[in-house]
Amino acid sequence: MSKDRIGNEEEPEIIYIPDDEGNEEEFEVIMKFEVDGSDAKYMMVVPLEADEVDEDSEEVYAFRYEEDGDDLKLYTIDSDEEWAIVEETFNTLIDEFDGEEDHD
């Protein structure tokens, strides 16, 4: 498992995702990771306007992604099996991060 950016104090990565009507919405990438035994890469994003809301209640969206040079292709996670793997990995990484924070 690899993880990027969680807990780092670097500049946030912002991506733009079109909604159903073609309007681009801004999202902050909070985590990127790969699942062991798979070539698939995943990212977790939150809408930028969520910063104004209580941090505990912000919505987190997950996508499978591929990078081709500067192009980023996002894919929705449709299968329950794939979603379960992504959710479990995300929760594990969050728990590890919280544990590291407690020791600082």
The whole-number mean pLDDT for each consecutive block of 10 residues of the chain, a chain of 104 residues, reads 52 90 93 86 88 62 92 93 91 82 59
Rounded distance, CA 13 to CA 36, Å? 24
pLDDT given at position 59: 86
Which range marks the domain in which residue 39 is found?
2-102
26 beta partners: 16
Count structural domains, the chain. Answer: 1
Quote the pLDDT of residue 104.
54
Burial status of residue 84 (CB atoms within 10 A of its CB: 0-12, 13-18, 19 or more): exposed
Contact 40, 73 (CB under 8 A): no
Predicted confidence at residue 103, as pLDDT, reads 57
Distance, CA of 61 to chain centre: 7
- Angstrom distances, CA of residue 93 to CA of 10, 25, 45, 49: 18, 26, 15, 24
Residue 5 confidence (pLDDT) = 46
pLDDT for residue 56:
56
| Residue-level pLDDT at 2 | 46
